[in-house]
Each structure stands twice: as structure tokens, then as C-alpha cells.
């Protein structure tokens, strides 16, 4: 069994990726400081897969903690690096927190790869690196725009750091996956998106409103240059996204990379507006949502969706879960954690 380190592995994307890795025979070691997740996620991963991943409560932005842990866990071949602060709005208010956590984390991971002979890195990047694109859909050759938030800027900076480091360490390999908008939950309803405190993403606001936890869903702006005036995003099912990481690991393990660092857009290739997503949720679940239009939110991009042809062709990966099923999975997860029959 090949050993793989998943940082931020109790988080939303990390937990789903851990499940898919274990189901394909990898031995997974999770590191997480539990700043935005809970340790009992490990129990639910174990229920799904029948295998309990190794877990270390480690802050990867703390170099000493990371290196002490890795010194005791030799033989890791690859790292998938999720651990980072991720809320756009919070990053605007607390920029130094984001630079400290997100940039230090990547530097420490790269140094650890060199120190402990770990060959492959999949970096959790973001479509935020494209800013507000002038041409849609976005390809991997689309210009990198000035970031609209410190969060987005950390993704750009980290891609540059990884590129510079791999250039002078050609024995190492990296793939940066530029996610669009991950949504949904595992079909088992055992793991899903469980933000601590106020959610940073749209879907928990939708499901919590449907569950009566929140009185009303606020939609930020209806005066954008889109068909219904609300922002457009490319919403990708969380299990589809998780499987893109395995495709990236396979590519590096099989020596199929064309350059030391590669970049792939990970989305569905379809843009949906906020109001379209609300309607899809209502139709898929039978739940009517109470929502209101409020002012625009600082840092939000008007519209963005992916051209995924490079990922489809080079990684042999494609998003396959319909958005209606994704919304139903998210609602089933919310019902389970809220004890709704």
C-alpha cells in the first residue's frame, strides 16, 4: 500500500478525498489542526471505508510540529495539501492570518518533501487565480489576474512558490488543481460540509436555511452583468473533485507529466447563477427557500466557469454527478446532522 499524506484531511474536501484514496488502496495519513473541522470526521471516514486513517493533530504552518511528525512516519510517497484558511470575506478583514497560515504552510510542505524524500505534491489551488476573467470559459492559459482577496492572492503566491521550488528540485513533481466551487456531501450522508461557526460557502447557507437553522438566505447582489443579475459559478460535486486528486497522483506516479509542475482546471464546464442553484435545490429536495437580495459582497467575482478539456484529456478525469443529485446529497447530509426526518 502506498502511503499518502493528506493535510487538512478532516475538512470538507480532505475528508472526501481520504475516502476515495482509501477505497483505491492507499494508506492515508491525515494532518489537521482542527481549526475548521472536527476529529470525529475520522470515525465517519472509517465507517465508510472500513479503514481508520492515521491522524495527527498538527498545524502544518508550524515547521517544528510538521517535521517532528514526519520524522516518525517514514515512507510517504505523495502529499495532497489542503490545509489552509479559506474564507474570502474573512481574508479581506484579516489578511495577515491568511498570508501566515497559507504561505507558511506551503513553504513547510515543500521543505518537508526535500527533507523526507517525498516525491509528489498535489496542491489545492483555486479558480480565484483567474480573478474576473475577460474571456469565458476559463482555460489554463487564461491570464492570472490581480487577486480580488488575500485568500485568492495566497493561491497565486503558492503556485509561484511551488513552480520556483520544483524548477530547482527536478526530482520532485507537483500538480496544482484549480478548483471551481466544490459542493455537496458523500452519498452515505456520513461526511459533508460542516463549517464551524458562520459558513464561508453558499451551500451550507442554503441547507441551513431549509433546515430552519437560519431564518433567511441572503443573496449578495442581483445587479451583476448576468442573465438574472446574480453571480455565476461552476459548482462541482465533492466526490468528483476528490477523484481528480487521485487522477493527479496517478499521473505523477506513472511518470506522465509533461513538465515538473502542471495546472488543471477542475470543474464541470457549466456555469450556474445563485438563483439557478437555489431553484435546483428546491426542485431536487422539495424544500422552499426563504431568501432575500442584499447588497454586493466585497471580493466576489461576477462570473466564472471552467473549460475542463485539458483535465478531461490529460488526467482522464471528468465530472459526472448531476447538480440535482449533488443538492440532494447536501440536503440529506444537513438532515442527518440536524436530526430532521
CA distances from 247 to 19, 82, 106, 238, 336 (A): 14, 16, 21, 15, 31
User: What is the length of the chain?
Assistant: 341
Question: Residue with C-alpha cell 507537483?
Answer: 174
Can you read off the three cell numbers belonging to residue 67?
Answer: 517535521
Residue 179 · residue 124 · CB < 8 Å: yes
Please identify which of the residues 26, 151, 179, 235 carries the catalytic annotation. 151
Backbone phi, psi, residue 135, to 5°:
-125, 135
Please confirm, yes or no, whether 151 is among the known catalytic residues.
yes
List, by residue number, the catalytic residues: 151
Amino acid at each position: 500500500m502506498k502511503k499518502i499524506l493528506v493535510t487538512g484531511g478532516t475538512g470538507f474536501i480532505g475528508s472526501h478525498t481520504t475516502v476515495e484514496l482509501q477505497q483505491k488502496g492507499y494508506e492515508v495519513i491525515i494532518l489537521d489542526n482542527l481549526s475548521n473541522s472536527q476529529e470525529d470526521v475520522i470515525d465517519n471516514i472509517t465507517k465508510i471505508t472500513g479503514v481508520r486513517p492515521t491522524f495527527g493533530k498538527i498545524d502544518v504552518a508550524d515547521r517544528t510540529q510538521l517535521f517532528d511528525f514526519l520524522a516518525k512516519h517514514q515512507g510517504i510517497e505523495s502529499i495532497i495539501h489542503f490545509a489552509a484558511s479559506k474564507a474570502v470575506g474573512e481574508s479581506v478583514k484579516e489578511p495577515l492570518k491568511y498570508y501566515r497560515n497559507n504561505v507558511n504552510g506551503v513553504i513547510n510542505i515543500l521543505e518537508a518533501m526535500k527533507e523526507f524524500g517525498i516525491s509528489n505534491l498535489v496542491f489545492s489551488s483555486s479558480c480565484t487565480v483567474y480573478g474576473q476573467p475577460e474571456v469565458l470559459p476559463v482555460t489554463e492559459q487564461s491570464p492570472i489576474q490581480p487577486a480580488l482577496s488575500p485568500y485568492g492572492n495566497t493561491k497565486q503566491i503558492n503556485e509561484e512558490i511551488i513552480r520556483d521550488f520544483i524548477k530547482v528540485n527536478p526530482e520532485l513533481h507537483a500538480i496544482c488543481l484549480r478548483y471551481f466551487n466544490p459542493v455537496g456531501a458523500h452519498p452515505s450522508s456520513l461526511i459533508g460540509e460542516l463549517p464551524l461557526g458562520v459558513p464561508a460557502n453558499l451551500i451550507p447557507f442554503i441547507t441551513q436555511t431549509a433546515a430552519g437553522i437560519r431564518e433567511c438566505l441572503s443573496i449578495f447582489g442581483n445587479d451583476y452583468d448576468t442573465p438574472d443579475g446574480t453571480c455565476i459559478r461552476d459548482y462541482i460535486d465533492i466526490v468528483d473533485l476528490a477523484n481528480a486528486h487521485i487522477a493527479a497522483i496517478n499521473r505523477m506516479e506513472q511518470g506522465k507529466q509533461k513538465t515538473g509542475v502542471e495546472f488543471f482546471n477542475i470543474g464541470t464546464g457549466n456555469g450556474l447563477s445563485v438563483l439557478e442553484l437555489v431553484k435546483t435545490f428546491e426542485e431536487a429536495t422539495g424544500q422552499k427557500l426563504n431568501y432575500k437580495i442584499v447588497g454586493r459582497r466585497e471580493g466576489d467575482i461576477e462570473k466564472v466557469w471552467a473549460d475542463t478539456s485539458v483535465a478531461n484529456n490529460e488526467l482522464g478525469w471528468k465530472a459526472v454527478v448531476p447538480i440535482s443529485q449533488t443538492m440532494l446529497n447536501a440536503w440529506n447530509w444537513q438532515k442527518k446532522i440536524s436530526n430532521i426526518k
